[in-house]
Structure formats: C-alpha cells, structure tokens
C-alpha cells in the first residue's frame, strides 16, 4: 500500500488542478467572450465530451496499458493548458472549446483507467480501503480547489492559475511514472493486447448486461444520483444568498468543509470495518446509503438553523463517501477484462445524469425554491434506491428460502402409491 499512498497523493494533486481548472476556466471564458451563452456552451461541450468519452475510455482501457493511459491523460491536460497560454489572444476563443474537449475526455479516461486498475494495484482484498483513500483525497482536493480558485485568479491572474493547473497534472504524471505498479491482471499481460482487445471488452459488457442486472440497476441509480447532486450544487449558491445576502459564500464554505469531513469519517469507519471483519459491503449497503445521502441533502435545504444544517451535511458527506466506495468496490469485483467497459458505461451514465441535472435544476430554480428543486430531484433518487433495495431484499429472501421443490408426480417420489 505504500506505493498506492503515493498514487493517492498524485491523484489528489491532479484532482485539485481539475477543480481549480473548472472554476478558473469558466470565469475566463466569460471574461474573454463577455457572453453567458458562450460560458454555458463551454460547460456543455466539456460535459458532452465526458459523456461520450466514457464509452471510448472503456474500449481504450481494455486494449492498452492503463498506467500509460493515465499518464497520457494528465500530460494531455497539461499541454492543452500551456497551449492556451501560448496562443495569441485572437485565437483563444476557438482554442477554448478544443480545451473543453481535451479536459473532458482526459479526465474521464483517467478516472476509468484508475478505477479499473485498483484491484490489480493493491489486491482485490484491499480495494475497499484503497477506494476510500482515493475518495478522501478527491474530497479534500475539491474543497481546496473550489476555495482557492477565486483567490488565485483574483490575486495572481489567469496565467498563474493555468500554470498552476498544468503543474498539478505534471506532478501527477511524474508520480505515476516512477511507481512500480501493475494495472492489469497477469493473465491479460501474458496474452498481450489481444487479451484486452476492444471486441472482448464489448462482449464482456454484453454478458454483464444479461447476467448482472443488479449491476446495471446500480449504474442507473448512480445516474439518477447525478441528477440529485447537480440539484444541490446549483441550488447551494442561491440558498446561501437567501440565508445571508451580505456573505453568501459563508454557508457554502461551511457546507463543503463539513461534507468533506463526513466523507473522511465514512472512509475511516469503512476501512476499520473491512479490516475487522474481512468483508466488504455490498448492494444493499449501497442502496441504503444512497437513500440516506439524498434524504440528508434534502434536509440541509429545509431551512434549519446553521448548526443542525451542518450536522446534516456531515451525515450527507458520510453517506456520500460510503456509497461511492461501496459502489466502486462492487464494480471492481467483476473480472479484469470486464472492468474497462463497465466503468466506461458508469462514467457516461454519471456524467449524463449530472449534466442533465444542471440544465433541469437551473431552469426549475427560476420558478421554485431551492428546497423544492433539491427535494424533487433527490426524491427521485430516493424512489429508485428504495426500488433497488426492495429488489435486493426480495432476492435475499428467495435465496434463503431456496428454490421451490419439484412438484411430485402422482405415484412417484412421494414414498407412497396413489390410492384408486
């Protein structure tokens, strides 16, 4: 795990760059173009590329070395940012949309390749703990990236922000390059590229689609969770302004900081549970945790005083962290050759749900309160989670009861003859 901790550090640094990049680039697009429509189009291109890249990434991860793909994705984002800095001002607008494509595609590719590789890097028995460390690192990076973006841009300017972004991706690529890790199963390494060919990946995904409907249901839940997540992300600035018009950023920072603490608590608790019992939580824990998460996010926007609201945000963060770790760990339980296509499908579903939710939430907030918007979209996620939980419980009951015995044939197998 010592090598993996360095990987987590590098991944956290690049995640910080991604979140800083997200804020700085969106503001930069608006400043350069002077158009809210152009800024919205930039976000749409980036999200659309992320959705499409999920399917492509699944095939690439099945066909090529995953470590090289992650390094290439980091280098691609760094070079794209440097190209934007070196380009003349007249050509920057068109280059911005190329940057949106590069960053959206590379971030998805990196995520799919890394998630697919975790069981091979640390061993299948340690994947839950490893996923928890990654979730914690990304949570802290998100807080740092979002909170520092405004300061970096305001105090140092866009050039410094983009250089810092590029450096974070270069650091991540450098750390991964020097780590002696294996990212693919030994049987596939021995078989070469053909063992993980794209056609094999597609066949594996088709088999999963028919043989593992629960996995497909979990991916559907994650897509709807994306709708809910977008609703509280979009509604949070509006809600914070209603709470304190003079200091709208106060509640936002308190909310995300508390949420991050919750994810860390969940990661620590889950790691201890796994070490103590030697077991990993499964589909029912995922469905129950997703219900708690969505319910907690709804309560946060219900108008509670600050302290109870932040306590609920802590619960939301803990449930969010738990469901993320359990979900990824469950998908990693499939054979190595199936992981790439499966995580590619998952990335596309999650990004599509989040992007669609951004559009829906933004339009609904024109007519409805933040509480109503968050309740409607997170409520939809709760309904789907409850349906999945009911399905899992019924399957469990059937498994315990066992299959029904054969219907006795008259005169046979009953130990007695039929009386005429």
pLDDT at 313: 94
Residue 299 makes CB contacts below 8 A (sequence gap 6+) with 309, 312
Q: Could you check whether 1-180 and 196-400 share the same CATH topology?
A: yes
For 221-258, the pLDDT digits (tens) are: 999 999 999 999 889 888 988 888 887 778 888 898 89
pTM attached to this predicted model? 0.85
Both tokens assigned to 29? 């697009």
Q: Say if residue 36 is exposed, middle or buried (CB neighbours under 10 Å; 0-12, 13-18, 19+).
A: exposed
Cα–Cα distance between 92 and 100 in angstroms, integer?
12
Q: Which of 66, 112, 49, 130 is nearest to 343 (CA)?
A: 112
More confident residue, 344 or 94: 344
CATH code for 1-180? 1.20.1250.20
Q: What is the CA radius of gyration of the chain?
A: 24
Is the domain 196-400 a CATH 1.20.1250.20 member?
Answer: yes
Look at residue 311 and tell me whether its pLDDT is greater than 50. Answer: yes
Cα–Cα distance between 85 and 25 in angstroms, integer?
12
CA distances from 365 to 88, 243, 354 (A): 39, 16, 16
For 54-74, the pLDDT digits (tens) are: 989 988 998 889 999 999 999
Look at residue 195 and tell me whether its pLDDT is greater than 50. Answer: no
Q: Range with the lowest mean pLDDT among 130-134, 177-181, 333-337, 397-401?
A: 397-401
Look at residue 115 and tell me whether its pLDDT is greater than 70. Answer: yes
Look at residue 192 and tell me whether its pLDDT is greater than 50. Answer: no
pLDDT at 173: 93
Stretch 360-370: mean pLDDT: 90
Q: Which of 217, 254, 241, 92 is nearest to 158 (CA)?
A: 92
pLDDT at 264: 87
Q: Which stretches of 212-302 are DSSP H helices?
A: 213-243, 248-277, 283-300
Domain extents for the chain?
1-180, 196-400
What three-state secondary structure class fits 304? coil
For 121-153, the pLDDT digits (tens) are: 988 888 888 898 898 888 888 888 877 887 888
Q: What percent of the chain has pLDDT over 70?
A: 88
Stretch 74-92: mean pLDDT: 85
Look at residue 406 and tell me whether its pLDDT is greater than 60. Answer: no
Cα–Cα distance between 268 and 318 in angstroms, integer?
10
Cα–Cα distance between 325 and 232 in angstroms, integer?
21
């Amino acid at each position: 795990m010592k090598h993996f901790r360095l990987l987590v550090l590098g991944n956290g640094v690049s995640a910080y760059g991604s979140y800083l990049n997200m804020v700085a680039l969106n503001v930069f697009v608006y400043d350069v173009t002077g158009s809210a429509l152009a800024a919205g189009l930039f976000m749409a291109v980036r999200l659309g590329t992320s959705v499409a890249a999920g399917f492509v990434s699944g095939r690439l991860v099945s066909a090529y070395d995953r470590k090289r793909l992650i390094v290439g994705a980091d280098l691609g984002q760094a070079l794209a940012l440097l190209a934007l800095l070196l380009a003349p001002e007249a050509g920057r607008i068109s280059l911005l949309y190329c940057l949106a494509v590069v960053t959206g595609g590379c971030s998805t590719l990196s995520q799919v390749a890394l998630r697919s590789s975790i069981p091979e890097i640390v061993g299948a028995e340690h994947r839950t703990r490893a996923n928890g460390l990654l979730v914690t690192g990304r949570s802290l990076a998100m807080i740092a990236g979002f909170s520092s973006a405004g300061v970096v841009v305001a105090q140092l300017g866009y050039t410094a922000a983009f250089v810092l972004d590029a450096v974070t991706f270069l650091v991540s690529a450098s750390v991964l390059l020097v780590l002696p890790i294996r990212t693919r199963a030994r049987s596939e390494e021995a078989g070469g590229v053909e063992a993980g060919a794209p056609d094999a990946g597609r066949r594996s995904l088709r088999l999963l689609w028919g043989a593992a409907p629960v996995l497909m249901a979990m991916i559907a839940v994650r897509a709807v969770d994306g709708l809910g997540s977008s609703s509280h992300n979009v509604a949070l600035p509006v809600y914070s302004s209603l709470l304190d018009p003079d200091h709208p950023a106060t509640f936002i920072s308190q909310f995300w900081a508390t949420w991050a603490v919750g994810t860390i608590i969940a990661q620590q608790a889950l790691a201890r549970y796994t070490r103590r019992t030697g077991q990993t939580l499964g589909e029912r824990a995922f469905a129950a945790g997703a219900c708690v998460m969505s319910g907690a996010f709804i309560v946060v926007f219900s108008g509670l005083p600050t302290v109870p609201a932040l306590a609920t945000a802590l619960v939301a963060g803990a449930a969010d962290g738990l469901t993320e770790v359990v979900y990824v760990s469950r998908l990693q339980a499939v054979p190595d050759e199936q992981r790439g296509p499966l995580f590619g499908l998952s990335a596309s579903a999650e990004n599509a749900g989040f992007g669609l939710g951004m559009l829906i939430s933004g339009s609904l907030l024109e007519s409805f309160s933040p509480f109503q918007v968050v309740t409607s979209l997170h409520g939809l996620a709760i309904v789907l989670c409850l349906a999945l939980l009911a399905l899992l419980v019924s399957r469990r009951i059937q498994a315990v009861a066992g299959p029904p015995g054969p219907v006795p044939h008259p005169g046979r197998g009953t130990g007695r003859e039929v009386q005429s």
